[in-house]
Amino acid sequence: MLQAHSLLWHYLWVAPNVLLLVLAALIWSRRLQKQFPVFLIFAAGIAIEQLVVYIADILPAVSPITWWRIFWIGLLIEALLKFALIGEIFGLVFGLYSSVAKLGKLLISGAGVVLVLLAAVVAAYTPKDNIHWIVAGAHVLEQTIYIVECGLILFLFGLVAYFKLTWSHSSFGIALGLGISACVHLATWALAANGNFAAQYRTLLDFVHMAAYHVCVLIWFYYILGPQKSTTKSPVILPENNLELWNRELERLLQP
């Protein structure tokens, strides 16, 4: 069952991408694209890219070298879409407030530069796991993308926690799914790129990778289309004595 080209393997490769296409269609039909335009492009783009790679994998006419070329192109598109999506999440959380928007942009750009440098150093120390550069290079590139992605998502969560901002239900779900996917993929690709594992263990890592992606697609479904968590039960959240509290502060402040 846990073998390449088994029924479960086919399911885990195809189902999440079909679900992602359905999610993109539902976002469009519910007119949510104005809220998450990049996520819509991301969902549709990643799903199509993955399905193209899958079809290329099962078609006997596609040679291994052509498959790896398709995989490389897909990987680069995926990276662009992911970083654009992180930018969108950042805008959704920080864009509303001018006082921190500029600083946040500066910090996240700085973090991006540091992470790219770190990922480049890690890539330089990663041993070649395949005699064909196109295969070994793809593994290292995946690892590099996931290091940067994982770091950026964590940095974003840290920044939001530091400023005590509240995530919207959907933004949190998108960031959580992206973060979980990046962490699991980083772990599996780090093992794949550095571990020199036998083929059977590589396949197991593929299963973990695909299952995690499936879970993330379900997370996106839940957070984007599921019921919105009610944040306030009552419009008045300040206590009755709040003015007294602030008055006391101001009186003290204004005393000569």
- Asked if 88 and 37 touch (Cβ cutoff 8 Å), the reply is yes
Q: What Cα–Cα distance (Å) separates residue 3 from each residue in 6, 113, 184, 213, 229?
A: 6, 39, 20, 18, 40
CB of 237 to another protein, least distance (A): 4
Please name the residues in contact with 202: beta carbons below 8 A apart, sequence gap of 6 or more. Answer: 192
Helical H segments across 59-198, by residue range: 64-94, 98-125, 133-162, 169-194
Is the separation of the CB atoms in 172 and 92 below 8 Å? Answer: no
CB of 217 vs another protein, minimal distance in Å: 16
Q: Minimum distance from CB of 165 to another protein (Å)?
A: 7
| Residue closer to another protein, measured from CB, 44 or 193 | 193
For residue 132, the tally of other CB atoms under 10 A from its CB is 12
Phi-psi region of 5 (alpha: psi -120 to 50; beta: other; left: phi over 0): left
Rounded to 5 degrees, φ, ψ at 31 are 55, 40
**Nearest CB to another protein, comparing residues 79 and 180:** 180
Give the binding site for another protein (CB under 8 A): 96-100, 103, 122, 125-126, 143, 146-147, 150, 153-154, 157, 162-167, 172, 176, 179-180, 182-184, 186-187, 190-191, 193-196, 231-232, 234-255
Check: CB of residue 155 under 8 Å from CB of residue 105: no
Our CB check for another protein shows the closer of 116 and 165 to be 165
77/191 with CB nearer another protein: 191
* CB 154 to another protein: min, Å: 5
Q: Residue 198 carries which side chain, given as an amino acid letter?
A: A
Closest to 57 (Cα-Cα) out of 70, 45, 44, 46: 70
Residue (1 or 253) nearer to another protein, CB: 253
Q: CB of residue 139 vs another protein: minimum separation in angstroms?
A: 11
Q: Which is nearer to another protein, 70 or 126 (CB)?
A: 126
Q: How far is the CB of 44 from another protein (least distance, A)?
A: 25
